[in-house]
């Protein structure tokens, strides 16, 4: 290939590269740069605002929500994955669970919020059933619309997501390894403690990090469920963006979004390191 | 195969029932909530009929379907020729294209929305203020998923040999891409299309913050005025997405058998 035809070959990629430049790279750079600006001048005001009491509190709640829902999702999801993985690959049970997991993990968002309002909201089905039969009011002071409710609702998409991302790792565990361990006189506990556990740990931690990032970035469910107050970072960004009372909070939104990028970037870096470590074992 | 102990079988059954309750109760509650008469007994299908009667909801459903169609088309036009071209002529660019395509996975959609105001000022200047302009942003969102399915389809065939054969028979590059390579990666393209449709139909972040009335946005809005209808719409959307993803799994299965043959 001569130099001219190599040049024209690259030229054909231009539409694709330009498109991504305009709709992906430019918005991200706007956020990065905007976080350090106010009225077109460089300043650290908005970055400093990230360390104010309110924002720190919201960040803390966001981190707790992501961590707890990732932990619940990872542990329960791994257990469900194990129940699925021990069935033959062609069984109807396994197909149904993986298909349903795909829908629930991908398609959460708005429908999910309403599913839980219909179940545990003030006139939710379970709420009313318990109210009329046992006289217990589980709606209480509206916990569904606060942090505990968000953790519960997030688990509803975190567990299926765990099934999807963790199943390949569990499938990579060969039955022969267990047979070998048993032949050498290992008990079930010893097999899990010394063979399968260490082998699966990187994959488990990696999946848990992915769940964390997923919860941290999630917006739709919380936006529909929580209409008052801004308990988590995405909702604080919403109020900074749509605030009509206080002018010039756009750059605060940039700074908050920047903070989000930093957290997700750290998590995803750890994730890719763990995945690299896992892929060495499971092939 | 070991015989399973009784304890383990009990543990398995009990946990499966628990998982079943956790995942089924909210779905069944949606059915119940959307069909009962408030302050009285009996059943009603009014909220479900509203899905077709409510003017705003109907418009939003049409917008969302059009968006899904446009996003899928634009994604295919942008991505498929580029990916084939990279394999054929500029393998040096393959890492760059892969990195760019997977990048949206690590940047939360919310962050893109926050930064996209300037870009969208130009978009609405050029294309007007229609919800359909969301297509441009949605292509970015579906990119990682579409890239993966098309990439795995391309990996399963020998693109370079196919192209060389066609070229030596006198075919131009357009013919090579459209008539030789494309039919061979059809299953991957279809599955990329299905994922895009499902993602666009459920997308809320962009629509709500840019104030475009797509289906999820209107469902969210309805929750404030007419809870039963919003629940009915949510369940309908969920069922529709399930149907799409079930179809998707059939497409995936056909790829595997054709590869094995």
Q: Is A185 left (phi over 0), alpha (psi -120 to 50) or beta?
A: left
Answer for the pair B146, B75: CB distance below 8 angstroms, yes or no: yes
Q: Does A168 touch chain B (CB under 8 A)?
A: no
Q: What is the pLDDT of residue A125?
A: 81
List beta partners, residue A41.
A38
CA–CA gap between residue B27 and residue A215 (Å, rounded): 21
Candidate from B22, B38, B108 with C-beta closest to A264: B108
- Tell me if residue A219 falls in helix, strand or coil: coil
Residues of A in contact with B214 (CB under 8 A): none
Q: Does B144 touch chain A (CB under 8 A)?
A: no
Average model confidence (pLDDT) across chain B: 86
CA–CA gap between residue B67 and residue B17 (Å, rounded): 39
Answer for the pair A16, B90: CB distance below 8 angstroms, yes or no: no
pTM: 0.87
Residues of A in contact with B25 (CB under 8 A): 119, 126
The whole-number average pLDDT for the span A26-44 is 86
Query: What are the b/e assignments for A76-107, b being 16+ CB within 10 Å?
Result: bbbbbbbbbbeeeeeeeebeebbebbbbbbbb
The whole-number average pLDDT for the span B189-211 is 88
Residue A180 is encoded by which pair of tokens? 């070998």
Q: What is the pLDDT of residue B253?
A: 57
The angle at the Cα of A103, spanning A101 to A104, to the nearest 5 degrees, equals 65
- Lowest-confidence range among A15-24, B25-34, B47-56, B229-238? B47-56
Mark yes or no for CB contact B219/A106 under 8 Å: no
Label residue A108 by pLDDT band (50, 70, 90).
low
> Closest approach of chain B CAs to the CA of A281, in angstroms?
22
If one compares A77 and A147, the residue with the highest pLDDT of the two is A77
Kindly report, residue by residue over B100-111, the tens digit of the pLDDT: 999 998 899 999
Residues of A in contact with B235 (CB under 8 A): 111, 115
Residues of A in contact with B246 (CB under 8 A): 99
Mark yes or no for CB contact B202/A109 under 8 Å: yes
Q: What is the pLDDT of residue A74?
A: 95
> Closest approach of chain B CAs to the CA of A201, in angstroms?
22
CA–CA gap between residue A261 and residue B107 (Å, rounded): 6
Alpha carbon A71 to chain centroid, angstroms: 11
Percent of chain A's residues with pLDDT above 70: 94
Q: What is the pLDDT of residue B257?
A: 43
The whole-number average pLDDT for the span B237-244 is 83
The whole-number average pLDDT for the span A179-188 is 86
CA–CA gap between residue B196 and residue B202 (Å, rounded): 10
- Lowest-confidence range among A27-31, A66-70, A101-105? A101-105
If one compares A108 and B140, the residue with the highest pLDDT of the two is B140
Residue B16 is encoded by which pair of tokens? 């499966």
CA–CA gap between residue B57 and residue B67 (Å, rounded): 15
CA–CA gap between residue A108 and residue A127 (Å, rounded): 22
CA–CA gap between residue A219 and residue B108 (Å, rounded): 9
> Closest approach of chain B CAs to the CA of A114, in angstroms?
6
Task: Count CB atoms within 10 A of the CB of residue B21.
Answer: 10
Task: Count CB atoms within 10 A of the CB of residue A233.
Answer: 28
Quick check: B228 pLDDT over 50? yes
Kindly report, residue by residue over B8-32, the tens digit of the pLDDT: 889 989 999 999 999 999 999 999 8
Q: What is the pLDDT of residue A246?
A: 54
Q: How many CB pairs under 8 A join A and B?
A: 215
How far are the Cα atoms of A61, A186, B215, B235 from residue B67, in angstroms, in the given order? 35, 58, 10, 20
Label residue B224 by pLDDT band (50, 70, 90).
confident
Percent of chain B's residues with pLDDT above 70: 92
Kindly report, residue by residue over A254-264, the tens digit of the pLDDT: 999 999 999 99
Of B214, B176, B208, the closest CA to residue A222 belongs to: B208
Quick check: B84 pLDDT over 70? yes
> Closest approach of chain A CAs to the CA of B30, in angstroms?
6
Label residue A14 by pLDDT band (50, 70, 90).
very high
Q: What is the pLDDT of residue B256?
A: 46
Q: Does A272 touch chain B (CB under 8 A)?
A: no
Of A218, A105, A24, the closest CA to residue B141 belongs to: A24
Quick check: B261 pLDDT over 60? no
Residue A98 is encoded by which pair of tokens? 């993986």
Highest mean pLDDT: which of A78-92, A194-208, B134-148?
B134-148
CA–CA gap between residue A136 and residue B164 (Å, rounded): 74
Quick check: B6 pLDDT over 70? yes
Label residue A44 by pLDDT band (50, 70, 90).
confident
Quick check: B1 pLDDT over 50? no
ipTM confidence: 0.85
- Lowest-confidence range among A51-55, A138-142, B246-250, B255-259? B255-259
DSSP string, chain B: -PPPPHHHHHHHHHHHHHHHHHHHHHHHHHHHHHHBPTTSSSB--HHHHHHHH-HHHHHHHHHHHHHHHHHHHHHHHHHHHHHHHHHHT-GGGHHHHHHHHHHHHHS-HHHHHHH-HHHHHHHHHHH-S-GGGHHHHHHHHHHHHHHHHHHHHHHTS-HHHHHHHHHHTT--HHHIIIIIIHHHTHHHHHHHHHHHHHHHHH--HHHHHTT---HHHHHHHHHHH-HHHHHHHHHHHHHHHHHHHHHHHHHHHHHHHHHH-
Alpha carbon A149 to chain centroid, angstroms: 16
Sequence-distant (≥ 6) Cβ neighbours of residue B8 within 8 angstroms: none
- Tell me if residue A115 falls in helix, strand or coil: helix
Quick check: A102 pLDDT over 70? yes
The whole-number average pLDDT for the span A145-166 is 90
Answer for the pair B145, B195: CB distance below 8 angstroms, yes or no: yes
If one compares A227 and A157, the residue with the highest pLDDT of the two is A157
Q: What is the pLDDT of residue B237?
A: 87
B186-202 vs B134-155: helix crossing angle, rounded to 10:
150
Candidate from A23, A31, A124 with C-beta closest to B111: A31
Q: What is the pLDDT of residue A247?
A: 54
Quick check: A52 pLDDT over 70? yes
């Amino acid at each position: 290939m001569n130099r001219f035809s190599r040049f024209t070959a690259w030229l054909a990629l231009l539409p694709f590269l330009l498109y991504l430049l305009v709709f992906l790279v430019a918005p991200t750079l706007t956020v990065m740069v905007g976080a350090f600006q106010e009225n077109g001048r460089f300043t650290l005001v908005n970055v400093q605002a990230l360390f104010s009491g309110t924002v720190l509190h919201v960040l803390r709640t966001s981190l707790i929500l992501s961590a707890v829902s990732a932990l619940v999702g990872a542990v329960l999801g791994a257990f469900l994955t194990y129940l699925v993985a021990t069935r033959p690959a062609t069984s109807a049970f396994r197909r149904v669970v993986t298909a349903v997991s795909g829908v629930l993990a991908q398609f959460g968002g708005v429908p999910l919020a309403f599913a839980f309002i219909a179940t545990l909201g003030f006139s939710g089905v379970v709420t009313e059933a318990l109210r009329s039969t046992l006289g217990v009011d589980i709606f209480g002071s509206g916990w569904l619309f606060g942090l505990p409710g968000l953790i519960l609702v997030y688990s509803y998409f975190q567990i299926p997501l765990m099934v999807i991302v963790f199943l390949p790792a569990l499938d990579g565990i060969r039955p022969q390894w267990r047979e070998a361990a048993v032949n050498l006189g290992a008990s079930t506990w010893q097999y899990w403690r010394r063979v399968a556990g260490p082998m699966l740990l990187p994959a488990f931690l990696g999946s848990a990090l992915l769940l964390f990032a997923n919860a941290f970035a999630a917006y739709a469910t919380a936006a529909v469920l929580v209409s008052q107050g801004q308990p988590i970072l995405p909702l604080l960004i919403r109020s900074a963006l749509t605030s009509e009372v206080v002018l010039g909070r756009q750059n605060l939104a940039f700074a908050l979004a920047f903070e989000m990028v930093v957290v997700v970037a750290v998590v995803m870096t750890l994730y890719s390191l763990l995945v690299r470590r896992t892929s060495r074992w499971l092939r | 195969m070991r015989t399973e102990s009784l304890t383990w079988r009990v543990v398995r059954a009990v946990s499966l029932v628990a998982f079943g309750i956790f995942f089924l109760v909210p779905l069944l509650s949606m059915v119940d909530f959307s069909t009962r008469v408030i302050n009285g007994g009996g059943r009603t299908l009014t909220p479900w009929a509203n899905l077709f009667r409510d003017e705003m909801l109907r418009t939003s459903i049409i917008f969302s379907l059009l968006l899904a169609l446009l996003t899928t088309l634009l994604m295919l036009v942008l991505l498929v020729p580029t990916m084939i071209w990279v394999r054929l002529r500029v393998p040096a660019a393959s890492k760059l294209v892969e990195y760019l395509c997977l990048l949206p996975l690590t940047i939360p959609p919310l962050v893109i929305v926050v930064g996209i105001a300037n870009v969208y000022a130009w978009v609405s200047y050029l294309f007007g203020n229609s919800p359909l302009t969301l297509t441009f942003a949605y292509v970015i969102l579906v990119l990682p998923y579409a890239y993966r399915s098309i990439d795995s389809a391309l990996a399963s065939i020998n693109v370079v040999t196919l192209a060389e054969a066609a070229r030596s028979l006198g075919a131009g590059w357009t013919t090579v891409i459209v008539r030789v390579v494309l039919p061979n990666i059809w299953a991957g393209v279809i599955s990329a299309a299905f994922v895009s449709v499902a993602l666009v139909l459920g997308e809320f972040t962009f629509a709500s913050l840019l104030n475009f009335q797509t289906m999820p946005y209107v469902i969210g809005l309805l929750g404030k005025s007419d809870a039963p209808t919003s629940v009915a719409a949510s369940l309908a959307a969920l069922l529709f997405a399930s149907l799409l993803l079930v179809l998707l799994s059939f497409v995936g299965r056909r790829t595997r058998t054709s590869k094995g043959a």
